[in-house]
Amino acid sequence: MSEKPEIQYPPLPPLSKWLPVLVVAWLFPGGGHFYLKRTYRGLILSGCILVSFAIGLMMRGYMFQPAGGDLLTTVIYYGGFLANLATGLPFFMTKWFGYESADVAGHIVDYGTKFLVAAGLFNILAMVDAWEIAVGRKD
């Protein structure tokens, strides 16, 4: 069996170099890429995340609140909350301006909830990508 070659990453730069990128990337979807002058990639990420989020809101998707109980409930509600939180500023603005909807039964609302969660997960991918560019592991 052949061994996989070990990837040599450059040493991690100081916190001041990548933390602002991570914070901007979290608060404004695609913002980390704009900050690092990757405009086109930032535009694509920003567009996909914000449109997903807007569709989720307009389909009256539910924003998860952390809730415990059995294992499945805990995973779904805490996981959903973290994914919603990962959207950054759009999440907080929705809360501040009272645009969040109640958790009601129905397939349209359910799809909306999935779009809101998906937007948060997309933003986590964008944050990781921006961080990798900031620390020099990626171009």
Size of the site for other proteins (CB under 8 A): 24
- List all residues 6 or more positions away from 1 whose beta carbon is below 8 Å from its beta carbon: none
* Burial label, 41 (beta-carbon count in 10 A; 0-12, 13-18, 19+): middle
Choose between 3 and 121: whose C-beta lies nearer to other proteins: 121
Asked whether position 136 contacts other proteins by CB under 8 A, the answer is no
Asked whether position 107 contacts other proteins by CB under 8 A, the answer is yes
Please state whether 37 falls in left (phi above 0), alpha (psi between -120 and 50) or beta: left
**φ/ψ of residue 72, rounded to 5:** -65, -45
Choose between 27 and 114: whose C-beta lies nearer to other proteins: 114
Asked whether 100 and 90 are in contact (CB, 8 A), the reply is no
Please, what is the Cα angle at 14 between 12 and 82, to 5 degrees? 80
Q: How far is the CB of 52 from other proteins (least distance, A)?
A: 5
Q: Which of residues 24, 25, 118, 134 is near other proteins by CB under 8 A?
A: 118
User: In the window 13-72, what residues touch other proteins (CB under 8 A)?
Assistant: 41, 44-45, 48-49, 51-52, 55, 58-60
Asked whether position 116 contacts other proteins by CB under 8 A, the answer is no
Q: Which residues bind other proteins (CB under 8 A)?
A: 41, 44-45, 48-49, 51-52, 55, 58-60, 107-108, 111, 114-115, 118, 122, 125-126, 128-129, 138-139
